[in-house]
């Protein structure tokens, strides 16, 4: 039997990201390669990427990426979309057939605009209407799954190792100012295409390494506000919490971090009075959205990224910089693949949000 220190046990799942502060678009090639040294953190049951700025010619339309089991379901879903949206363009997402990716569903994307008459009748803003449409399709339409629904961004995921998933989706052909990536090691759910990361809703996307022990409390809370947790995975819940706190409640990124990775009460008591009052307020108003257990996440959004560890930092995450680019990953090795001479290596503390934004007007 091998002793402690003689065998490497990876800490489940790999995350990696790169963003250009100047809004410079980069191909997906380097972020794909960043996942290779973290290969052992995955087990081939899920990999994926989120890319921002990839659809400039459709920047005003929502890009729905949808998995279909068959063409009958696709036609049914298209009929549903036509009732409430103008479909500007619909097409199969280009893929590269490779032996490592099998059991491929029909993968389509739709660039859509909600009809103004429908929004007026329902008295909803377009983002809320898009969220309700995504929930409706994913809950009621068997054999269809909307896995991306933002503007000028898209997620690409599958069952497989992330480096293979990147080749499968031909991500080297896309240009994005921000990329996030994930290699999955599922612990409580089977690996399937919809369950791979990133999880996305509107412009938010989440890649996650960890396993939250507060899943059931978080799920029951967020479902009170109309979200439907169909996939039984903690990353789905984190994505909906982000949408609820940032879009519907209007919290800042820092305030959201102080909800989901709230400081301990003993820590709050040591803060300055104004900061202590704010943290006490957030813990009191949103107690069921505190995420407990080990996690490191990267939240992608239009114009930036936020990385966050659980308050005890039970999962690894490091950041670095080079020129106008900022890198985030589970391991330094992943960053060195993207930028061998990266500088300012930093490991954020538990509960400390690390936020990077693109220069105003550059995306």
- Could you give the residue numbers annotated as active site? 13
| Strand segments (E) across the chain | 14-20, 47-52, 62-68, 85-92, 106-114, 144-148, 153-158, 178-183, 199-201, 204-210, 295-301, 304-309, 318-322, 325-329, 343-346, 354-357
Q: What is the dihedral of CA 91, 28, 20, 112, to 10 degrees?
A: 10
Question: Would you call 224 helix, strand, or coil by DSSP?
Answer: coil
d(CA 317, CA 253): 18
Nearest C-alpha neighbor of 203 from the set 157, 144, 246, 141:
246
Contacts of 332-339 with CB under 8 Å at 24 or more apart are: 333/37, 333/38, 334/14, 334/16, 334/34, 334/35, 334/37, 334/38, 335/16, 335/34, 337/30, 337/33, 337/34, 337/36, 337/37, 338/16, 338/18, 338/30, 338/31, 338/33, 338/34
Chain position carrying tokens 């659809």: 55
Residue 273 Ramachandran class (φ > 0 left, ψ -120 to 50 alpha, else beta): alpha
Which residues are CB-contacts of 40 (< 8 A; sequence separation ≥ 6)? Answer: 8, 10
Inter-CA distances, 28 with 35, 110, 166, 273, 354, Å? 12, 21, 8, 46, 22
Cis peptide before 198 (omega within 30 of 0): yes
Say how many residues make up the chain: 363
Q: How far apart are CA 186 and CA 136, in angstroms?
A: 26
């Amino acid at each position: 039997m091998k002793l402690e220190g003689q065998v490497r046990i990876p800490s489940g799942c790999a995350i990696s990201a790169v963003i250009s502060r100047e809004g410079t678009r980069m191909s997906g090639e380097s972020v794909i390669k960043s996942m290779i040294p973290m290969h052992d953190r995955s087990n081939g049951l899920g990999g994926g990427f989120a890319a921002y700025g990839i659809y400039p010619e459709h920047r005003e339309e929502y890009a729905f990426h949808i998995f279909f089991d068959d063409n009958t379901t696709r036609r049914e879903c298209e009929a549903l979309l036509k009732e409430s949206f103008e479909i500007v363009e619909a097409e199969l997402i280009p893929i590269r057939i490779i032996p490592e990716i099998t059991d491929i569903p029909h993968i389509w994307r739709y660039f859509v605009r909600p009809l103004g008459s429908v929004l007026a009748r329902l008295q909803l803003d377009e983002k809320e209407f898009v969220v309700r449409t995504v929930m409706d399709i994913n809950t009621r339409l068997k054999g269809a799954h909307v896995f991306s629904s933002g503007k000028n961004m898209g997620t690409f995921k599958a069952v497989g190792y992330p480096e293979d998933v990147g080749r499968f989706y031909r991500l080297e052909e896309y240009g994005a100012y921000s990329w996030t990536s994930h290699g999955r090691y599922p612990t409580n759910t089977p690996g399937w295409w919809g369950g791979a990361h990133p999880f996305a809703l509107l412009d938010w996307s989440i890649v996650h390494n960890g396993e939250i022990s507060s899943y059931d409390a978080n799920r029951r809370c967020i479902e009170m506000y109309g979200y439907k947790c169909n996939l039984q995975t903690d990353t789905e819940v984190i994505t909906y919490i982000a949408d609820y706190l940032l879009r519907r409640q209007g919290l800042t990124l820092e305030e959201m971090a102080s909800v989901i990775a709230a400081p301990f009460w003993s820590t709050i008591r040591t803060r300055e009075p104004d900061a202590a009052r704010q943290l006490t307020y957030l813990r009191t108003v949103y107690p069921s959205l505190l995420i407990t257990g080990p996690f490191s996440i990267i939240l992608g959004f239009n114009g930036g990224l936020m990385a966050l560890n659980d308050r005890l930092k039970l999962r690894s995450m490091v950041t670095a910089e080079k020129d106008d680019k900022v890198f985030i990953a589970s391991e330094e090795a992943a960053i060195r693949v993207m930028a061998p001479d990266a500088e300012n290596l930093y490991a954020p503390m538990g509960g400390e949000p690390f936020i990077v934004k693109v220069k105003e007007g550059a995306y």
